[in-house]
Amino acid sequence: MEQERIIRTEYSDVMQKSYINYAMSVIIARALPDVRDGLKPVQRRTLYDMHELGIRYDKPYRKSARIVGDTMGKYHPHGDSSIYDALVVMTQDFKKGLPLVDGHGNFGNIEGDGAAAMRYTEARLAKITQEAFLSDLDKDVVDFIPNFDETEKEPSVLPVKIPNLLVNGAEGIAVGMATSIPPHNLAEVIDATKAYMKDENITNRELMKYVQGPDFPTGGIVCNKDDLLEIYETGQGKIKIRGKVEIEKAKGGKVNVVITEIPYTMIGANIGKFLQDVAALHETKKTNDIVDISNQSSKEGIRIVIELRKDADAENFINMLYKKTRLEDTFGVNMLAIADERPETMSLKQIIKHNVDFQYEVNTRKYNNLLEKELEKKEIQEGLIKACNVIDLIIEILRGSKDRAMAKACLVEGKTDGIKFKSKESKIMACQLCFTEKQANAILEMRLYKLIGLEIEALIADHENTMANIYRYEDILARKDAMAQVIMNELDAIKKEYGVKRKTVIENAKEAVYEEKKLEEMEVMVLMDRFGYVKSIDMPTYERNKDAAETESRFIVKCKNTGKVCLFTNKGQLHTVKVLDIPFGKFRDKAIPIDNISNYSSDVESIVSVASQTELNLYRLIFVTKLSMVKIVDGGEFDVAKRTVAATKLLDDDEVISVEVMGDQRNIVMQTKEGCFLRFPLEEIPEKKKAAIGVRGMKLGAKDTVENVYYTKNAIDSTIDYKGKALELNKIKLGKRDSKGVKVRT
């Protein structure tokens, strides 16, 4: 038994090497496409497996589960979901400019609904995939490499005849890098490729005469045309895309804004998000123009209808959609792909150059292979024609030979030993025969019907055709311009059959500008009940329902609808809420939990006081805590932009029990849990910053805490109900701050 060897090494070195190996594996063999065929490994393997299974465009569909299972077992040892997801995307005409797979069944839709399970759907290769991606695989045009367990062979790249990386685009996230290439129009890309082949010094600017810009399957409008040149020169940048919007007149003088094309970035769940965003514009009072929203999209195309009121400014509303929703969005471009086995960010010209170089390489191998086969045919055809001229001699050799080897030796080397001839002349002629090995085998395997006159004529015609092919193939291989013409002819044929009109409009659109209607400022009353549900009503409504409002509400705050409401909590926090975020309506309209529109959480804190921020700026606040800490704070300190700040500093186990706006009060009365009352002048409470703890208001017993706080005014009686009896606060002896107070007995 071999002795175990332990290799000691630095842990960080092992981790570094392992991570780099993993990262390179993800970059090269999983996440990024190859610039030559524009495919990721999972896509390439799936298409090749379908080709091997014979699932051609003119054959019946096969279950997706069969394709996925076969691909996973032979070529792609990863999860079945990743293979099926790749298969699904290759069928979706709203994601791919040129779908590579013909799907049958539910393969998802543009609104984000997923495909059915692979056991329900069926697929087969698209016609263009068969003709332009896989057709030359049998001509030794690309290298085949072992699969993961070395039991099968797979192509390292598919012999794609078009710059598929541009036509279908690509998206992928690797380790430390990502690719995002938009789809383009097939006809335009082919024209640009031909232009490059005619002039390899062509610039990106000149190429853009052919490739105007991206051509998204969803259409839409690219509205920053002037930025495209820099994007195509550097391989990076941002493309602004907008949906296509039409204005239609509706019944009753109303106007419908109809979205017929969406930005490419909106496909999927973002359509639902867009509808929610439009609804939110109405709910948050950003616009009052919306009457109704409906998604009338179908297989025929996108149709999202927004019904506006009669006097609405439709153009201004559309500009608001561009600004406030994803109807105008940004597509980030990073044209990163694998070139020469390394990731590289490429310009438009570089991508086309790599593809053209690949076409020359593929076609060189293709025509070398075809030439070799034609030369073999020529050799055999010449042998058969020659044999037909001396067929009587050959028959005599065959009849006189004891076995095949003796006859073959005579045909190839002119050996006549052991062969019986009818005459010496035949033997002399047989000695002069010098057929090649292949010719001799062909003669020996030739059937008698080949000696019919018409068959001999056909053989001669085939030979002439073979010679013409040889001359043509040699010419193609010898002259670059001849091969270029062959490639361009193939591109023209593909363009003629599969080229379609551009869907995306390229233009320099004006920046969307909309006039936000100024909110009419007015006074409102904010009502909050004891459960924390809040709403706002206008002043006339409040006056009509004043008694009910005061009975049902815990807090009532008068403020401007453009202002903020401040919530002070027992944990010493201040939460601010915009009044516009609070539902406004009728008195009996439904309120919403304050938790929904602020950072306040009823699970961990409780509201002590509610005030208008405008009011706070004019007054000072009195803070009192459970452990008897008191202070006065200038209300201006709470005019903050943040939604949540600390309103005061607290001791351990302490909490705020009262925050009062300071007006014409003169004395403060603090009541403890055990029944002690202390009344003293407010002048004795010092003014502090909000970050201060404050000073002690009254001395407490060992386990006593402040329970309630009251305020009195001079010459005004103030009576409270204390344990069922009336207690006049002004009759409590006036004491000093930080004293014990008096015990009130009941």
Q: What are the residue numbers of the active site?
A: 120
CA dist 160 → 34, 173, 352, 465 (Å): 11, 24, 13, 28
Can you tell me the distance from the alpha carbon of 48 to that of 45, in angstroms, rounded to the nearest whole number? 5
CA distance 435 to 380: 10
Q: Which is nearest to 360 in space by CA: 479, 240, 188, 528?
A: 479
HSE (side-chain half, CA atoms, 13 Å) at 592: 12
> What 8-state DSSP symbol labels residue 224?
B
Distance CA 647, CA 608 (A): 12
Strand partners, 233: none
The length of the chain, given as a count of residues: 746
Distance separating alpha carbons of residues 84 and 88, to the nearest angstrom: 6
Dihedral sign for Cα atoms in the order 144, 147, 152, 155: negative
Distance CA 166, CA 335 (A): 9
User: Which token pair is 258?
Assistant: 């109809």
Could you give the maximum distance between any two Cα atoms of the chain, in Å?
A: 158
Contact 587, 548 (CB under 8 A): yes
**Whose CA is closest to 52, among 175, 134, 161?**
134
- Using an 8 Å Cβ cutoff, are 317 and 218 in contact? no
Q: Secondary structure of the chain: what % helix, strand, coil (to 5)? A: 40, 25, 35
Strands 178-181 vs 342-345: parallel, antiparallel or unpaired: unpaired
Distance CA 169, CA 217 (A): 11
Cα separation, 563 vs 24, in Å, equals 56
Sign of CA dihedral 730, 735, 736, 738: negative
